[in-house]
Amino acid sequence: MKTASTLALALISAVVLSAGAAHADTAGPTRAQVIAELARARASGELDQLNSENGSVFLRNTPSTRTRAEVVAELARAQASGEFAELNSEDSTASLRRAASTKTRTEVVAELQAARDSGELALLQSEDPTHPARAIAAARKPQLVIAKAK
């Protein structure tokens, strides 16, 4: 019995040690490698560039995959579609206004009136979590799911 326990302990130790050795191979660079990389970055000026206030350092080192003509054509398309103005606008809702509606005005007005009647509109406009309209909206939710399923 003592031999079996010793054998099991030796086997477990061997597995643990081999797992540790395998992990050491994939652990990444050694301290000496990191120090050497730091010295290389200092010598080449790369570290100074990374620590500077100039954010374009990353852009300068990235080669373009497009020709100038492709970039100019893409800019023209974005300007013609209004996307360029939208991206440069301080209005965060510009893209929402550009989307086409799938409902008629009559349908929207009817939906608004139904939300008023049910109290759902009051709930949406309320910042009070105990607002009575929350109960109305919670009760109406299953009806909305059934109506959408039909």
The string of pLDDT tens digits covering residues 13-61 is 666 666 555 555 567 899 999 999 989 988 988 878 777 777 666 666 6
Instruction: Evaluate if residue 92 carries a pLDDT over 80.
Output: no
Do 95 and 108 reside in the same domain of the chain? no
User: Does residue 16 lie in a domain region?
Assistant: no
Residues 6+ apart with CB under 8 A from 134: 123, 126
Task: Compute the mean pLDDT over every residue in the chain, rounded to the nearest whole number.
Answer: 75
Do 108 and 94 reside in the same domain of the chain? no
Do 91 and 110 reside in the same domain of the chain? no
Burial class of residue 3, CB neighbours in 10 A (0-12, 13-18, 19+): exposed
User: Does residue 110 lie in a domain region?
Assistant: yes
User: Does residue 15 lie in a domain region?
Assistant: no
Mean pLDDT across 68-82: 91
Residues 6+ apart with CB under 8 A from 83: 77
User: Does residue 114 lie in a domain region?
Assistant: yes
**Count of domains for the chain:** 3
Do 92 and 73 reside in the same domain of the chain? yes
Do 114 and 143 reside in the same domain of the chain? yes
Range of the domain at 108: 104-150
Do 57 and 71 reside in the same domain of the chain? no
The answer to whether 125 touches 131, Cβ cutoff 8 Å, is no
The pTM assigned to this predicted structure is 0.29
Q: How far is CA 22 from CA 4, 25, 28, 146, in A?
A: 27, 5, 12, 57
Any idea what the Cα angle at residue 131 is, between residues 125 and 133, rounded to 5°? Answer: 75
The answer to whether 49 touches 61, Cβ cutoff 8 Å, is no
User: Does residue 20 lie in a domain region?
Assistant: no
Do 43 and 71 reside in the same domain of the chain? no
More confident residue, 25 or 78: 78
Do 69 and 36 reside in the same domain of the chain? no
Do 108 and 137 reside in the same domain of the chain? yes
Residues 6+ apart with CB under 8 A from 86: 94, 95, 98
Do 125 and 146 reside in the same domain of the chain? yes
Q: How far is CA 121 from CA 54, 107, 117, in A?
A: 49, 16, 8
pLDDT-derived band of residue 121, with 50, 70 and 90 as boundaries?
A: confident
